[in-house]
Amino acid sequence: MPRASPLNVEKLGDTLVGRLTRDGLMSSAQLRKLLRISQPSFSRIAHRERDRLLVTGKGRATRYAARRVIGGLSRDIPIYEVQPTGETRTLGTLTPIWPDDGFWFTPHLAGLEALGGHSSGLPWFLTDMVPSGFVGTLLADHVAVTGGVPRALNSWTSSDALRYLAQRAHNAPGNLVVGDGAFRSFLSDRPRPVATDGCERVYRKRVKELPDSLALGAPIGGAQPKFLADRTDVGVSAIVKFSPRSSSESATRAADLLVCEHLALETLAGFEGAPRVARSELMERKGQTFLEVERFDRAPTVNGRHGVLSLRAALAARAAGKTTARLDASPVALETLGWAGAASELERAGLISRESAEAMCWLDCFGSLIAKRDRDIDGLGLYHEGLQITGLCPAYGLRPSAYEPRQGAMVEVRFAPPLPRASQTPQWLPARDAAEKFWRRAAGERRLSKDFRQIAKHNAAAVRALRDVARRLPK
């Protein structure tokens, strides 16, 4: 009887890893069939290639994947969670795998098992940490020299983003820290306190020093120019937005919108029954306006943090099948939801409470009545603990964005406050009252330009005219 030819273990190992690199996760049965080998032979080969493989699951659910190497990072990247007390715990580990920009998340905390698994690109709970907007563009340009990433932010892959997060982003939005390098920076990080006396002078200096004055570990998003500040004398970590120091029409309008944002937040803070809003303070010095908005993802305790997810991230979690319901995750579908639509989807998925959904609808109505054009799914946040959503964050960024200059040029806006749907009546009625109060305050606000006070006066009348609509809505 002829002898069976000996296994070419090296060649079979290369074939196994090559197939996993091309096709992604596979079971033992699939791989044995592909290689035409027995279980003992497969076990031998898998053991030999263990450094190139990720093995996940148990028993029949065991799956194999080919590991991917990202320069400068460990094979398995820990994800840490910073708690409000400043204490930390390991949430899980993230492993780069093939094909493409794939990752596998392995939870370490009990109760998070359903959140583990494969993602094409960064998992949904890390996407808010990736640099974006004004600060992101400056950071990408700044770190490209030493960080091994492209200079243009829109050219970053998920691997580029992870490399940045794991090496530099120790002070990103929310309460997660990715990788041991960023975690060491978190442990050694000390606030750069700004005292109340003279803070305007310090802020003007920081604007002049951009991008060098940016905290490179703090990739805050949003299109408006901004930087971070620690007001330790009053126990506040803040995002500071600023207008250009110029007398141009567009610079004046930028200052007007910062004043309006402050007025809108103050209006809702003092309006009975309104959703919670972030605290803000307005400062003016030598022709430049600064708006300081308290960070609600930071706790009063030194280094304490709160977990925060954008609506986009929460909807992505649902789309990824991390809840019992499903959602079309295409960009167009998500972008057309708005705050009210997102509230409905998230409540139906069991991710937020009825109270949070109603608050989101309230804010959507108010935003529409103050000409806030960009009520998209990046504009509100949700608190989480261990990736479990616990409630709605304070509202922020409430400004009449329809009046923002486009590419530096002023645009004519004909504001016509939209009529409500009958189903929105409980939220629309008080939101209308609050919006009228906001526009009336703006019409008399001396820190606004004369032109914008006239705009506010017109819009106050337009919203006041909706009182007749309010009387006809079903009660």
Range of weakest confidence among 76-90, 145-159, 175-189: 145-159
221 and 135 Cβ atoms separated by less than 8 Å = yes
Is 245 buried (19+), middle (13-18) or exposed (0-12) by CB count in 10 A? middle
Q: Count each helix (H run) and each strand (E run) in the chain, helices first.
A: 15, 15
Task: Assess whether pLDDT exceeds 90 at residue 448.
Answer: yes
Which of the four pLDDT bands, split at 50, 70 and 90, describes residue 218? low
Residue ranges matching CATH 1.10.10.10 in the chain: 9-66
Structure tokens, 254: 């930028």
Range of weakest confidence among 71-85, 309-323, 398-412: 309-323
299 alpha carbon, distance to own chain's centre: 18
Task: Assess whether pLDDT exceeds 50 at residue 294.
Answer: yes
Distance (Å, whole) CA 346 – CA 364: 15
Cis peptide bond upstream of 331, omega within 30: no
What is the rounded average pLDDT of the residues 204-230?
69
Residue ranges matching CATH 1.10.1070 in the chain: 307-472
Task: Assess whether pLDDT exceeds 50 at residue 246.
Answer: yes
Q: Best-predicted range by mean pLDDT among 66-75, 247-256, 397-406, 437-446?
A: 437-446
Range of weakest confidence among 168-177, 185-194, 292-301, 343-352: 185-194
105 and 116 Cβ atoms separated by less than 8 Å = yes
Q: Indicate the pTM of the whole model.
A: 0.89
Average pLDDT, the chain: 87
Task: Assess whether pLDDT exceeds 50 at residue 332.
Answer: no
Domain 307-472 fold: 1.10.1070
- Residue 460 confidence (pLDDT): 97
- Residue 293 confidence (pLDDT): 93
- Residue 145 confidence (pLDDT): 67
Range of weakest confidence among 159-168, 209-218, 335-344: 209-218
* β-pair type (288-294, 280-285): antiparallel
Among residues 183, 164, 173, 165, the alpha carbon closest in space to that of 237 is found at 173
Task: Assess whether pLDDT exceeds 60 at residue 327.
Answer: no
What is the rounded average pLDDT of the residues 325-348?
70
What is the rounded average pLDDT of the residues 245-270?
94
- Residue 8 confidence (pLDDT): 84
What are the residues whose beta carbons fall under 8 Å from the beta carbon of 39, sequence distance 6 or more?
Answer: 28, 32
Task: Assess whether pLDDT exceeds 50 at residue 324.
Answer: no
Domain 9-66 fold: Arc Repressor Mutant, subunit A (1.10.10)
Q: Best-predicted range by mean pLDDT among 228-237, 379-388, 408-417?
A: 379-388
115 alpha carbon, distance to own chain's centre: 18
- 342-378 core/surface letters (b: 16 or more CB in 10 A; e: else): bbebbbebebbeeebbbbbbbbbbbbbbbbbeebbbb
- Residue 105 confidence (pLDDT): 96
Residue-wise pLDDT tens digits, 155-206: 889 999 999 999 888 889 999 999 999 999 999 987 777 777 778 788 888 8
Q: What is the dihedral sign for C-alpha 17, 22, 28, 29?
A: negative
Q: What is the dihedral sign for C-alpha 29, 31, 34, 39?
A: negative
Task: Assess whether pLDDT exceeds 90 at residue 80.
Answer: yes
Distance (Å, whole) CA 320 – CA 351: 14
Task: Assess whether pLDDT exceeds 60 at residue 214.
Answer: no
Looking at residue 132, its amino acid is S
